[in-house]
Every structure is written in structure tokens, then in C-alpha cells.
Structure 1
Amino acid sequence: MSDRSPSAATPENDPVSHDLFGALPDPQVQTPRPAEQPAVPGSRRAARAAASSPSTPAASDEGTGTPAERHDETHSTLEALFRHEAEPPVAPKRKKRRGCLVALLVVFVLVAGAAGGGLWVWNAYGDNISEVMGWGPSKDYEAGQATGNALVTINKGDGGHQVSEALYRAGVTKTSDVFYTMMVKENIVNTFYPGVYKLQQKMTAAAALKALNDPKNKMQNSAVIPEGYTVAETVERISKSVDVPLADLQAAVQSPADYGVNAPSLEGWLFPALYEFGPGATAKDIVATMVKRTRDSLASAAVPASDEQRVLTIASIIQREARAEADFYKVSRVIQNRLDQGMKLQMDSTAQYGYGELHSGSASTSDEAQTDDNPWNTYVIDGLPKTPIANPGDKAIDAAMHPADGPWLYFVTVNLDTGETVFSTTYAEHEAAVKQWQDWCKANPDSGC
């Protein structure tokens, strides 16, 4: 359902939803120098000039100048200390310069605090000071905090940086860089083998490395397939963690009839889950296992055999459109209500799939995708798309079979960070919700709108 501007839409051609899968530097308040000083205090140019000019007063000069001038000079000096620039300041090379600067900074903070300026210094540079001095909360978990289970997928070619990110996303480590930082600091060279690893949450970086190197924690011939993946993404994901060539997997999904599926493609039939395939499993064995898992889910939701393709198609739209599982059943009701009333579904996820921009990184649909005449674009066709548009999970399949009760015909996610979604019955209500989304996008220009 489109989140685009409602100005061009009418109740007969209304936008309904869209696919929603898909820092600013703090300004420094600077006190200007007197008119005879051309350089701006705290600027990069001023800092470099201060470092290279022999006439610039040193930081150790006794309290010369007005209080405002001393404040500006202090600001410029601290900016130069904490700034990471490609060009180093021109200054005599001395041993242990960093240690001297740190010592000077600590002394300055103490003196400035006594003089009433400590609060300003801390507000402006507290984070930098804490980082240099090693203060503040640890970026690593403490030993003994590990609990629960976590699955970590390592793909072919992953190095320390990628593994560090994967550990953090799985909840294993406290920060995204602590694992990689540990490896660099301790000069650790490690070979990471692709596959799925069973670890715990809240592990120390050192414990996580030890666990990854323990063969007992590696699931053999395993892969984790996320919900909402397409067939193309699924086979690529499997090839990265299972020792089966991508070309073999791509060939294995070309004939749905080989697996008893009466459909144009296997889109929607490769169930998203954790798999551990037997030794020597072929590409067709892998695909057959995934199709069987889909049939198990359909049976659990009491889907009649004659209705499997329709339910999977609706479930795939729910999977791609809803931001939170709590909204799955409402989105299902919107789809059903629109079908019952003979309205076009107008789901952006279907238009994006048909045009090949399902993973473009934008929540909004391009004009080209929205107007392209293809059998998946529900802005153009009536009813459901030709096939599912992704592989739905258990919850989406259940929602397709059991939509919530309600009169809704529209929905739009008004906050892409929280997933807050507004469901509406009238077009006027939907227009107001779309305006709310547009305002949020203006306030958050880098959020993928």
C-alpha cells in the first residue's frame, strides 16, 4: 500500500500499503573572536594555523587575553586534539606526544573545573575524554553473563569485521566492533569456516572466538533462511553456507512439478527456517526438504490442498508488508476486504517484486514500478498476483487463513523505526495517515523512505 503523496490518488485509485523492509554531527556553538582576528575559533583552518604559526600563543602561556579569548583558544585546542584529520598538524615530533597531551588535558580539566569552566569542557568533550582515559561502560560483556542460545551464520569469505557484525546482530556480543577490535589489538589471525554456529547470548568477545573455533558448535551442512526471502535469495544464501554449488541449486528450483507443486514457480514454497541437511545432500534433496517444511506449515494452518497457492500468495504479501507480527492479522483483513469489494490490492511490495526492485532499499515504490504492466503489479491487475512474492513463515500463513475482524481498507506505516502502522477505513483517514508518514520521512531523511 503506497506511502507516496496522496495528492494524485483517488478513492478509485488509492494507495494502500508498501513494502517497508527496506547522524548528524552535533553543531559546535562557537564564540567569535574580536574583529582583528580573521580566523574562526575552532575551525579546521584555525586549528592548523595555530599549530604551524610561531606567533600563536602556546597552551601553557599564562592567562593572557580576555576570558572570552581564553575560552576560544581552549575550544580550538581541544578541537584540534580530538579531531581525526587526514593531514596531521605541523608540529615538532616528540616521543610520547599523545601521553603528554592526555596529561595536559587532565590537568586542564581539573584547573578549568576549579575556575568554573569544567562543566563546559565536560559537556563538549566528555565522550572523547572517557574514550581516551578508558572510562565509561565496557563495550564487552562480563564473563559469566552468557545465557540462552544464539545462531550465528558465517558466510564464505567472511573475515573478522563481518563476523564481528554477525555476532552482534545475533545478540552474542555487546557491541558490533568489540570482537574485531579484540582480534586487532591482540594480533589474532583466525580462519572462519562458513556455516551456522550455536552460541550463547551475552558472551565475551574472547569466549565467542573460542566457541567459533570449537567444532562441536558448528552445525554441519546447515543454513538459516530468513522470512520474506525470495527463491533467488534463498538459494544464494544456502550456497554460502552449504557445500553445494549455486548453479546446482538454481537448476533444482526450475521444475516445481518435481516436488509435487502445481505452480509456475517455487516462489513461496521454500520455507524460511534453520536447516541441517544430511551428509552428501544434493541440491534437489535440499529443495525437497524445504518444500516439505512448507507443506507441514500449511497443514498446521489447516489449509486445503486446493487452496495452498492462494494462501501462500496472500501470506507472502503479509510477510513483506507488515512491520510487526502483531499487525499480520490486520493486514490480512485489509487484503481480504479489498478482494471482497472488488478493489485493486495496490500493494507496493507486489509492484516492486514485478519490476525487480523489491530490495531497492527504499520503502517507496518508483513511478516505473507502480505503472509497469506485469502479472504481479496489483496497481494494474485485479485480484492476487501471479505467484507469491516471497517465502512466508508460519505466522504469515496462519494470518492468511485467519484474518482479524475489522472494516479496514487501508494501512500505512507512519514510523519506519518503530513499525507503528495506522489502519484506516475511509480514504480521508488514510490520507491523514499518509501525511503523518510524509512528515516523519521529512524529519528522518536517512531512514529509507
Structure 2
Amino acid sequence: MRFDPWNPNFVAHPYDVYDELRRESPVSYFEPTNQWLISRHADVNALLRDRRLGRSYLHVATHEEFGRPPEPEFHEPFWRVIRAGMLDVEPPVHTRLRRLVSKAFTPRMVESLRPRVRAIAGGLVDAFVEKGGGDLVAEVAEPLPVTVIAEMLGIPDQDRHLLRPWSAQICGMYELNPTLGAQHAAVRAASDFAAYLKDLAAVRRRAPGDDLVSALTGIPELTEDELVGTCVLLLNAGHEATVNVTGNGWWALFRNPGELARLRGDRSLLPTAVEELMRWDTPLQMFERWVLEDIEVHGVEIPRGSEVALLFGSANRDPAVFEEPDRLDLGRVDNPHITFGAGIHFCLGAPLARIELMESFGALLDRAGTLDLRREPEWKPGYIIRGLRALEVSAAA
């Protein structure tokens, strides 16, 4: 089985194929998606920082000039929202947005959230243990980051149930060759979320609160579309990966009981354990970039107008960088994984994600005396954002 992102067996275990790609064809053309696959850590890391590539090309060329078909008209509401956030734009727009948003997303502000994150995680785990377990993804992994980002944005309790479906549908557009149904769902979700956020921003302008939407409305240089795009990005990026690191991470621990026992016996390993779990089963398997100027990688010329697919999951298992990369080592200290990206698009929310993961794993280890897997989980069909459908676990204090 070669690279096949629509094959459930490949999605469940892509690492043997990655190993083959790194050894035999570290730069290879994948015709079904018209992309160049980049599989080695050094190349992925370098290209993430290379300004000859970008998340978008629309600041330098039209679709036609890049040899790409125009986007369907019905996509317009989706891209109006997404391209108003910093992830899918390039300098100078990206530089301005990141500078402005960073004012409201300081390290001190993020660290101040730790007690609240700890309380939310503890409450979720207590309820999970009290009922004897259940689906760890749906009952612990998902509610924690969604609740945190909802509180940060100042979204009222009664509306928070809308967030997870909106995010999941929006992220469906980022999968490889999404179905027409997935595209329409993404457009509807983006439109509905944008309308909701515009209404919420109007309320916060009249009566500001102690929340991120209020802080963003107070930045005059930020347009309404940019405020909306920023909030949508914070929801999507702020919880999708955290949910999957939690689910994938516990599945990894159940498959490596010796490491789970090691962590239970030495809680000081928790910081390196979180980093290792992000590396070992990476939640974002692929990150794409457009080639804005001709480049050459390992003697392979990749012309302007091409798209490269940077295989994060492969880079994080590269033996040239990680000793025994297929071994889960919760005490691994030399761990330059690229789960959060690199360069100007390095994840702004990485400090918050680390806090959420530390508190989530810590609460489960502290408050659940036993955790046992009830049945082997299934993977969701998505490849780029890769996670479990559910993780059924029995739990006892």
C-alpha cells in the first residue's frame, strides 16, 4: 500500500508508507491531488520557513495565472471568512493581523487561564469517572478545549453547543478533494458562524466584557471581517488538534502499557509525555503550501504554481532526527517535533494547547485510578486532521 489518504487502512497506520517515502522518494509527485509530497523532517522544516512558499498565492497571482481553476461561486462566503484570518494569508496582511491579535493573546493572558483550564478538566474527569467511563473523546477531549475557547471568546453558555459542529464542518473543506456535500456544509457553517460572531461583536461594542471578542472589538485597525476570521480560526485551530492529541494520545498509551505505567509512577514526566504524544501520532498529518517561486528539493525541480504537501506525520517519525522514532518514549527530551508548524505560521495557540493537554492528561491520571480500553477504536475518515471516532474506556476512582 502506497500513499493513499482515502484508504482507511492507510489512515489507521500511515507510518510504514512514510518510512518508504523517506528512504526511496523523499520528494514525490502525487497525481490524485496534484501535489508534491515532502516526507523528511529537514525538508519539511526548511520549507515551512521558506518565504518562496505561502499558504496562499492570491497576493501575487490570480487563479488563472497560477494555472488553477477559479473557485466555485458558492465557496465565496467560506473563503471570505477564512481569508480574513491570519492562517490563509501572507505578509504584509499576515504580519499586521498576527501583530494585532497577539496584543489580545499574550503569554501572560494564556498562562492566567491555567487555573480555569484545570477546573474544567477536573470537572469533566470527575463526571467521567463517576459514571464508570464512556467515550473519552466526546466526554473529555472535546468539551475541554471547546469550553475554554468559548469562555475566552465570551460565547454564552446556551450557544456553545453550536461551536463543535461549526468547526468540524468548516475543517471538512481542508481535507483532500472534499466531497460536494462537505463543501456545501463548510460554506453553511462558515456563513452561520460569521453571522453569529458579527452579532456578538455588536453586543460587545455596546457593552464590553472581559473576553477576547471584546478585546478584539477594541482594536480599531481590525476590520469586522478580520475580527470574525480571527475568532473562527481560534475556534478551529484552538481545539481540533487538542481533541485529537488527547484521543490519539490515550490510544497510544493503551497500546504502550509500559509507558503508561511509567507515567503513572513518575508524574514529572508529564511535560515530555505531552510533547512525545504530539510527535508519535501527529494530529495534523499534512500541511500544504503553494510554491510562489521555483524551488529545488533533493535535485527535484518544483515549479512556481505547484502545491507541496508537507507530511508532518512522516517528519515526526524521521530517524535522521529522532532516535528510535517508532518507539513511544515519554521521557524523550530531544524532541524537535513540528506538530505546531514553524516559521511565520507557527501556531499562535501552542502555549494554550500545551496547558490544556497537561491539565487534561494530569486530571485523568490523578482522578481515575484505573482506565481500561473497552474496545479498539476506529479512525475518522479524514486524513489531514486525523483522529478517532470515539475511545470507549471504563474508568474507576
Q: TM-score, normalised by structure 1?
A: 0.23
Q: Which has the larger radius of gyration?
A: 1
More helix by share: 2
Q: Which has the higher contact order (CA 8 A, sep 6+)?
A: 2
